[in-house]
Amino acid sequence: MTFDRREFRNALGRFPTGIVVVTAGEGRDLRGITVNSFTSVALDPPLILWCIAKSSRRYDLFTNATEFTVSVLSENERAAAETIATAGEGKLAGVACEASETGPAAIAGAVAVFECTREALHDGGDHMIIVGRVHHFRQRDGAPLTFFRGTYHKVAN
């Protein structure tokens, strides 16, 4: 049986997700990447994961980062998602950020923020699975940005 990668990708795209931006670094060296592979892993200890493509120019930066922050984007932050997705090395020029408690800055207005330390890296084919332990989190009211079948959506009430 032939395995059609494009159709596989399309099939995966029928699973709706949120959109997060993962940030690492500080000050002018703060970098970000737009991600929809984020998911919760465990409550005790508090663990999350996301996956980064080994082909990404940001791969070394994010796999070497011992601290990173996950910002769950609100529906008003589609432009930030697009800007950061196409930002080359992930510079956050023009994207409003807000300070975190101890970790890298978050995207301003995010509906939830998880400040993490790197817990583990697991090989995942052409991606690396990055597991983070959450040390601080915060949340605010607001609808999340979602992604489904290759495009951004707002949550319908």
Q: What are the residues binding ligand FMN (CB under 6 A)?
A: 19, 33-37, 51-53, 56-58, 85, 88, 147
Q: How far is the CB of 95 from ligand FMN (least distance, A)?
A: 13
Q: Exposure pattern of 100-138 as b/e (b: 16+ CB <10 Å)?
A: beebbbbbebbbbbbbbebbeeeeeeebbbbbbbbeeee
β-bridge partners, 123: 128
Q: How far is the CB of 86 from ligand FMN (least distance, A)?
A: 6
Q: Is the Cβ of residue 102 or residue 149 nearer to ligand FMN in the bound state?
A: 149
Q: How far is the CB of 82 from ligand FMN (least distance, A)?
A: 7
Q: Is the Cβ of residue 2 or residue 73 nearer to ligand FMN in the bound state?
A: 73
